[in-house]
Amino acid sequence: MKKTLALTAFLLGAALAGPANNSLVIGTSQEPPNIYDPWNTNNLAITSEINGYMGAALIGLDDDGEPYADIATRVPSIANGDYKVVKNAAGDVVRNSVTYTIRKDAKWSDGTAIKVADFQFWHRLVNDDRVPVPDRDPWSRAKIAVNDADTFTITYDPPYLFADQTSPGLAPSHIMSAAWTAFDTKTKNEKDAKVVNEEWKKFISSYTTARSLPKVVAGPFKPTAWRSGNSLTMTRNANYWLQPKNPENYVQNITYRFIPNTNTLKVNILSGQLDAVSAVGLTFDQGVDLTRTERGKYKTYFVPGAVWEHIDINTRGQKAKDLDLDDPRMRQALLYAIDRDALTKALFQGRQAVSNSWVNPISKLYKKDVNDYNYNQARAKQLFAALGWTAGSDGILQKGGKKLSLNFGTTAGNTVRERVQQILQAQWKQVGVQVNIQNYPSSVFFGPDFLSKGQEGKWDLAMYAWTGNPIFEEGNLFKGEGIPTAANGYAGQNNAGWNNAEFNRLHKQAQVEFNLSERIKLFDRMQTVWNTEVPSLPLYYRVNVYTKVPGLVNYTFSAYTLYPSWNSAKIGWASKGAVEEYKQK
Amino acid sequence: MGTYALRRVIQMIPLLFVISLLIFMLTALQPGDPVDQLVFGNSNITADDIARLKAAYGLDQPWFTRYFFWLKQAVVGNFGYSQDFGIPALDFVFRDRLPNTLLLTVPALVISTLIAVPLGIFSAVRQYSLPDYVLTFFAFLAVSAPVFWVGALALYFFAVFLPGATGGVLSLPPGGLGSADLAPDAGWWATTLDKLKYLILPMMILMLREIAVTLRFMRANMLETLTQDYVRTARAKGLGDRRVLYKHALRNAVTPIVTLLGLSIPGLFGGAVITETVFSWPGMGKAILDALVSKDFNVVMTCLMLLALLTVIFQLLTDLAYGLVDPRVRYS
């Protein structure tokens, strides 16, 4: 009987996660298409997160948004002379440049020294038409000049606003350049883009897939096994230079488990199979559920993120004119008519703060004291009346024989958004606005024929999200030039179609204002204008939900770092002697 | 029979061509493409970038041009690269996903058939007895209960509740393909044993439904056969129950099961999308669904063409097998 029980336990018993062998098991709901592709030809969040364990950069950002030197010997600044801004006689910045010196001990995981050639190789390819990088900003305007064996200067002309806060990528030229030369020879005269693309895939897949893991990496961990559809394991890279004191006290192996179904991911947390969850994993609701069953086995965190949820109001086309959506008073009325505080309390336990600007609240550019549009039905009704809208016999506002009836769309199947829609629909109904919910699959909603075609009256209200990076904020979302039109190939992102002369002027100034305090002033005014005109109804900045077990230290992230992999060299178990440097805020 | 089989094989070629054209057209005409996903959310992207990416992926051309490019490559065995996984679509399907699916579905079908056929016969022979009611009720319940619900319950019970109740002695893994802490160089035996642990739950859930369906089917066939004149005649001649059942009734009752199994086999390759999703089992069903959502054309085409090919082949084999089990069927 005992033998049978022991055999059963062996067969059925699942390995428990934990610090026993100084390893870490992380659950995530997505699997990356590839890893450590130096040119980031896919832009999935999970790819960025996992690459964080294996990658290194000249300059990194910590959880507080402060830059630190990684491959570089120091953080470039005007004060230390590594960052230079060149102005013309009129005082306008015409170009800027950053000089980096590579640390002597910076090595690839195979022990080869990281050289300027690795940055040059990366830069050459990122600007090659055959490499399908999504965008080349700012690298297409950058030139690299070699100063000596370990020092180079990158010059941006026209100047790049965030030159001192970003840095060019790198690729292992000693590993990849021979294959690249072969690719180059094979495709130099090839006219058919599809053939070139197939060759590119052959080239890049030799270094980035489950079948062909990266040969070398620069970061704290190197990949050792990738079981497609199941897990990816990484091992500590002994050649990484920014090791904590006593690196053996910190996590030695990290395994990502790919669990696409988030309910199954939840069961994995409850059953103790996971030490932590990725930033790409749980939904908000699941996070709330998990807080109820913690019992000291794990802790749930809600981290203020960089994703801004909002409702665009279509100001373009005849229908928008008929419904006064192109009039700021109508948009203000719609905002006054909804109780966003009650909404976030009801749905998110108040954990997702109401926003009144598109700028991330943790950004230095964020303006706190704009109008907060607190719920005020009386004010909303006043504004409707001022525009000539009066209640009909059915209670719906009307003007000139037309009802104030709006189509409200979002991505179908997103239960949180669908619940928000229903609450808002009920609140607008109270002030006489009829809202018809019409949702679409993501592929349609974000496809080429919906959001960007506001001119054709395809929608009135559209709820979706943008990433609001607290560092690289340029104010592009609402610039007039960003209105998607046939002329610009529908490439802009100002789907609301709002075009404000003052905002556009300020935005242009801000784009070339290299003095932060002056930029803050410009953004202050931009946010005031935006907040008065409300081309979009701001809802809230989303939080990221994750869990981790007690005793796991330095597994943290913020809206600056986005992923817990930013500080992976220092992730460890307190019980193994790992020292806590960062607490989750 | 040989001439008939050859004629059917020749007919497959235009049929597969039409199927490939239809699949490609329907996939291509869906709204959105892989570039949209790269573009959305990137505030730096320009019209030139979009045009460059569309050209690189061949998405600037009409769907039929792309179809003929795909066809030209496919006939020489090149099914292109998976957009989502960066590896050849054939490798992705045949090396990464199909083995996982077959590991799950084949044993599930074989074991459930071996269980369900005798149970169906037993249930039919003892019609309206307590065991018959129990089996019929079980089959009804198993067919009706949604897989995602039963799967979620099973996951919670075996991976959370049971370990809690037994102090971790008894448990099953909560989905996936293998242990996270299994060494990459673990031997065949350790890897197999590990995979077996992960296979138990999804296979159980899959078998539950398979058993129910086959049991009901077998019971109905057997009941129908037992009312036939020749069975009555055999009984009237004084033959024993066992001899009537196994010598006269069984073969005719089992014949439709051949059709059922024959037509189930292509489905085995298609995977079990809900079971695979609930248990995070990376098989074909999940791969097809994900590829359709993410517009990974090459994977969609490879998977669906494989299923189409298997369907027509097994349809032919089923028809031929019919001739073997039923002497009245002749192909001339």
**pLDDT at position A7:** 40
Q: Which residues of A touch B284 (CB under 8 A)?
A: none
Segment among A175-189, B256-270, B281-295 with least mean pLDDT: B256-270
Q: Could you tell me the CA-to-CA distances from B218 to A534, B110, B117, B122 in Å, in that order?
A: 67, 15, 6, 10
Res. A11 pLDDT band, cuts 50 70 90 = very low
pLDDT for B331: 64
The pLDDT value given to residue B41: 65
A185 contacts: CB under 8 Å, gap ≥ 6: none
- The DSSP string of A96-157 is EEEEEEB-TT-B-TTSPBP-HHHHHHHHHHHT-TTS--S--TTGGGEEEEEEETTEEEEEES
- Give the residue-averaged pLDDT of A186-213: 92
pTM of the model: 0.90
For A413-432, what is the mean pLDDT?
A: 94
Convert the pLDDT of each residue in B102-143 to its tens digit: 999 999 999 999 999 999 999 999 999 999 999 999 999 999
**DSSP for residue A452:** G
Is the model's pLDDT at A135 over the cut of 90?
no
For residue A436 the two structure tokens come to: 């018809």
CA distance A24 to A575: 13
**Binning pLDDT at 50, 70 and 90, where does residue B150 land?**
very high
**Stretch 17-56 of chain A: residues touching chain B, C-beta under 8 Å:** 17, 21, 23, 25, 33-34, 42-43
Q: Is the pLDDT of residue A341 over 90?
A: yes
Gyration radius (Cα) of chain A, Å:
26
How close B232 gets to chain A, by Cα (Å)?
50
Q: pLDDT per residue over A472-496, tens digit each?
A: 999 999 999 999 998 887 878 899 9
Determine the residue of chain A that is closest to B282 in CA distance. A229
pLDDT at A8: 42
Q: Chain B closest CA to A4's CA: distance in Å?
A: 12
> What size, in residues, is chain B?
332
A443 min Cα distance to partner chain B (Å): 5
Distance of alpha carbon A94 from alpha carbon A158, whole angstroms:
6
Q: State CA B108 to chain mean position distance.
A: 10
Task: Count Cβ atoms within 10 A of the Cβ of residue B241 and give its class: 0-12 exposed, 13-18 middle, 19 or more buried.
Answer: exposed
Rg (CA), chain B: 25
- Minimal-distance CA residue of chain B relative to A42: B38
Residues from chain B contacting residue A263 (CB–CB below 8 Å)? 152, 278
Contact B180 A9 (CB under 8 A): no
- What is the structure's pLDDT at B330? 67
Confidence of residue B332 (pLDDT cuts 50, 70, 90): low
Q: Report the range of poorest mean pLDDT among A387-396, A494-503, B240-249.
A: B240-249
Taking alpha carbons only, the member of A449, A561, A564 closest to residue A50 is: A564
Q: Do B36 and A448 touch (CB under 8 A)?
A: yes
Q: What is d(CA A273, CA B178) in angstroms, rounded to the nearest whole number? A: 12
Closest CB to A489: pick one of B40, B47, B278. Answer: B47
| Contact between chains at B43 and A270 (C-beta distance less than 8 A) | no
Residues paired with residue A72 on neighbouring β-strands, in sequence order = A102
A489 touches B: beta carbon within 8 Å: yes
Q: Kindly determine whether residue B85 and residue A34, on different chains, have CB atoms separated by under 8 Å.
A: yes
Higher pLDDT, A57 or A15: A57
Percent of chain A with pLDDT over 70: 97
Distance CA A465, CA A462 (A): 10
CB < 8 Å from B in window 420-459 of A: 441-444, 446-449
Q: How far is residue A96's CA from residue A87's CA, in Å, rounded to a whole number?
A: 9
Burial group, residue B229, by CB count within 10 angstroms (0-12, 13-18, 19+) = exposed
| Nearest CB neighbour to B277, from listed A21, A194, A260 | A260
* Predicted confidence band of residue A169 (pLDDT cuts 50, 70, 90): very high
Question: Regarding beta strands A536-548 and A67-69, do their DSSP bridges make them parallel or antiparallel, or are they unpaired?
Answer: unpaired
A29-38, A259-268, A472-481, B242-251, range with the lowest pLDDT: B242-251
Q: pLDDT-based confidence at B226, cuts 50/70/90?
A: very high
Tell me if A549 sits within 8 A of A294, measured CB to CB: no
Give A-chain residues touching B46 at CB under 8 angstroms: 135, 491
Q: For all residues of chain B together, what is the average pLDDT? A: 88
In this prediction, residues B206-230 reach a mean pLDDT of: 93
- Average pLDDT in the B274-284 region? 92
DSSP character string of A323-390: TTTTSHHHHHHHHHTS-HHHHHHHHHTT-S-B-SSSS-TTSTT--S-S------HHHHHHHHHHTT-E
Q: Which residue of A has its CA nearest to B274?
A: A261
SS3 A503: helix
pLDDT digits (tens, 9 = 90+) for A545-554: 999 999 999 9
Lowest mean pLDDT among A184-198, A398-412, A546-560, B184-198: B184-198
- Confidence label for A44 from pLDDT (cuts 50, 70 and 90): confident
**Mean pLDDT score of chain A, rounded to an integer?**
93
DSSP of A18-54: SGGGTEEEEEES---SSS--TT--S--HHHHHHHHHH
* Cα–Cα distance measured from residue B39 to residue B59, given in angstroms and rounded to the nearest whole number: 14
Helix (H) or strand (E) holding B19: helix B2-28
Bridge partners of B81, per DSSP, are B88
The pLDDT, as a whole number, for residue A333 is 98
Q: Average of pLDDT values for B311-321? A: 85
Helix (H) / strand (E) containing A166: none
| One-letter identity of residue A502 | E
pLDDT value at position A15?
A: 38
Question: What's the rounded Cα separation, in Å, for the pair B175 and A59?
Answer: 39
Residues paired with residue A436 on neighbouring β-strands, in sequence order: A407
Backbone angles phi, psi at B116, to 5 degrees: -75, -35
How near does any CA of chain B get to the CA of A233, in Å? 8
The pLDDT of residue A10 is: 40
Cβ of residue A419 closer than 8 Å to a chain B Cβ? no
Predicted local confidence at residue A415, as pLDDT: 87
How high is the pLDDT of residue A72? 98
For an interface test with A, the pick among B42, B49, B199 (most A C-beta atoms closer than 10 Å) comes out as: B49
**Distance between CA atoms of residues A462 and A503, nearest Å:** 22
| Pairs of residues, one from chain A and one from chain B, whose beta carbons lie less than 8 Å apart | 203
